Structure 1
Amino acid sequence: MKLNAPGSLNSLNQAQLQQESLLKKLATAKRINSAADDAAGLQIANQLSSSINAKAQGERNVYDGISLARVYEQGLQGINDNLGELNRLAVAAGNGIYGAQERAALQAEADQYTANIQQTIDNTEFGGKKLFDQDGALSFGTGSGSLSFNTVDVAAGLNAQNVFSIDLSSAAGAEAALGNIQQSLDYIGGLQADAGASINSFSSAASSLNGQQVAESAARSRIEDLDFARATSDKVAADILANTSVSVALQSRVQQQQALNLLA
């Protein structure tokens, strides 16, 4: 007569291991908690997580670039507004009825506007970085490349148009200033157009990065996230199997004891 029941004990052990695995999955809401659960799936999920994190940082970088470009463009708009006022004064200085006193008043007002322009150039910055003091390019990594935003030495560009030395003391000076101011307006307008194009480019890149993150997150979720309905059903089945295995093991022990009693 066979006194041991290894089959029932093995079934009980397997049922308990399955219960522990299912409980862990239900607790973490993850189908894959270790390489033992799905080695290939874990590797793919880890690669996706790395890519998602890189794109998330890249998106933050791009939005920093957008913020910087907007500050840059707003600074240019401030300069443009002051140039517009200078243009008005230059037109006013061409009025033949103005005498020396009136032209001196116009010049004083013009000097204030040029001081405003210089102040804007000196004080426009982002994160402590001045934006109008030199020609250059600022790069913003996306995780799979980079985007660049070009900055310009605005003071040098305006100095080339003699904006900071306009003279409204005479009709001839006012006429010359008018031409210089118009060229400066065209120059600043071109820089604003470039900044606007960069903002649009950065916004498109940020939207693309966000879309890629959503798609990759969905793919990772399908690989590693738990199907609660199925896991709950499997847990019920495992509980039934465990209870049955316990009953079989107890019955085996009773039969073993009865057999020993008979032999005694």
Structure 2
Amino acid sequence: MSLVINNNTMANSAAQHLNDAYGALGSSTEKMSSGLRINSSADDAAGLAVRELMRSDISTLSQGVKNANDGISMIQTADGALSVVDEKLIRMKELAEQAATGTYTSDQRALIDQEYQAMASEITRIASATDFNGIHLLNGNLSSDTAMVIHFGTGNDSAEDKYNVKIGNCTASSLGIGNASAKNAGYTVSTQVQAQAALEALDQAITSKDKIRANLGALENRLDATISNLETQGTNLQSAESQISDVDVATEMTNYSKQQVITQAGVAMLSQANSLPQMALQLIS
């Protein structure tokens, strides 16, 4: 190679390699400081796209777990209210049994019926007042198959991502008891015959209420299993996303040290290359 002063080719070459090494050192520094292998689409465009999809699913699954837990809280609210309805129905049957025997007078049965009707009114009050986040649960508003949807999945498939919640009407009239209902067997216990008929009506009311509670219990168990599955999915997706996105610290530290040495060598060689034209001046002088 000729010794010239107009063009310092060796210095240009050293500067180019120094810029490349310095850029690689900067990239390695960014990865080490952020903990991420992919900090921009320039690092890995395909990997970035996959990572962002995974991140969106992970975030959605986390919210799905919260939704399912809210659903369980709602079910527990309804079931707790129905446990109180249980007590009232049991008391009403006790009163019907009392009025069904022949040792009480009509006036005494009228007094018994007053409490019987009070219990029926309380059942209706509980059904009308029980709500979760302003949503009434037991007054028949949720008796339709699609009245409430608990959504927990990342998509919108009716078989995979959501449950329809149905809760029957639990007012006294819907259960067929008390004087707010149709004049059927459970209407009153003011006479011995009516009290005897009310026993059967109360059995039917208790059975209807038990079916509602059984359905709620089954759905709560299902949501518990769903939460467990969602948490497992989220953990596995998080692990997969980490494999794509997170930096391998040991490997990157090795690369960082390598680029650091190359950069230092590039600086030294550039300095040497920049001194070459001085040798030409020595020949001229």
Q: Same fold (TM over 0.5)?
A: yes
Mean CA deviation greater in 11-20 or 128-137? 128-137
Partner of 1:41: 47
Q: Give the 3-state SS of the residue equivalent to 2:39 in structure 1.
A: coil
Aligned to 2:177: 163
Q: Give the distance between the partners of 1:162 and 1:247, measured in 2 at CA.
A: 96
**Residues 39-98 of structure 1: per-residue CA shift (max 9 Å, x gap):** 111111112122222322322222222222222222222212210111111122234333
Q: 1:72 aligns with which of 61, 71, 78?
A: 78
Q: Which amino acid aligns with 1:57?
A: Q
- 3-state SS of paired residue (1:23): helix
- Conserved 8 A contact 2:3-2:280: no
| 1:22 corresponds to | 28
Match for residue 169 of structure 2?
153
For structure 1, which segment, 68-77 or 122-131, has the greater mean C-alpha deviation from structure 2 after superposition? 68-77
Match of 1:140 in 2: 150
Which residue of structure 2 lines up, in the alignment, with residue 206 of structure 1?
227
Matched position secondary structure for 1:196: helix
What is the distance in 2 between the residues matched to 1:206 and 1:63? 8
**Counterpart-to-counterpart distance in 2, 1:253 and 1:220:** 47
Shift of 1:225: 0.6
Please state if 1:61 is matched with 2:67: yes
Query: What CA deviation, in whole Å up to 9, does each residue of 1:206-260 have, x standing for no partner?
Result: 2212211111111011001111122222112111111111111112222332332
AA partner of residue 233 (structure 1) = T
Cα deviation, residue 133, structure 1: 2.6
Comparing 59-68 with 171-180, greater Cα deviation is found at 59-68
Give SS of 2:163's match.
strand
Q: CA deviation at 1:151?
A: 2.2
Give the RMSD, CA atoms, in angstroms: 1.9
Give the helix-richer structure, 1 or 2. Answer: 1
Distance 2:174 2:16 in 1: 90
Q: 1:1-264 maps to which residues of 2 (within 5 A)?
A: 1-3=2-4, 4=8, 5=10, 6-134=12-140, 135-136=143-144, 137=146, 138-141=148-151, 142-144=153-155, 145-155=161-171, 158-159=172-173, 161-165=175-179, 166-264=187-285
CA contact (8 A) 1:31 1:225 kept: yes
Residue 52 of structure 1 aligns to which amino acid in structure 2? I
Residue identity opposite 1:28 in structure 2: S
1:150 and 1:161, CA in 2 relative to 1: closer, same or farther beyond 3 A?
closer
Whole-Å separation in 2 of the counterparts to 1:229 and 1:246: 26
The answer on whether the counterparts of 1:31 and 1:227 sit within 8 Å (CA) in structure 2 is yes
Deviates more, 1:220-229 or 1:43-52: 43-52
Q: For 2:240 and 2:284, how far apart are their aligned partners in 1?
A: 64
**Given the superposition, is the C-alpha separation of residues 247 and 118 from structure 1 closer, same or farther in structure 2, using an over 3 Å criterion?**
same
Q: Residues of 1 paired with 2:76 and 2:128: CA distance?
A: 17
The percentage of aligned residue pairs carrying the same residue is 25
Where structure 1 has 5 or more consecutive residues not aligned to the other structure, the ranges are none
Q: Residue 2 of structure 1: CA displacement?
A: 4.1
Q: What is the TM-score when the length of structure 1 is the normalising length? A: 0.91
Query: By how many angstroms is 1:129 displaced?
Result: 1.2
Read off the aligned partner of 2:255 and give its amino acid letter. D
**Mapped contact 2:128–2:139 kept (Cα < 8 A):** yes
Distance 2:61 2:240 in 1: 15
Q: Aligned partners of 1:207, 1:246: CA distance in 2, in Å?
A: 57
Q: Please give the alpha-carbon distance, in whole angstroms, between the structure 1 residues aligned to 2:33 and 2:16.
A: 26
Q: What residue identity is the alignment partner of 1:146?
A: K
Quick check: 1:69–1:149 contact (8 Å CA) kept in 2?
A: no
Question: Does 200-209 or 216-225 show the bigger shift?
Answer: 200-209
Amino acid at match of 1:128: G
Q: Which amino acid aligns with 1:139?
A: V
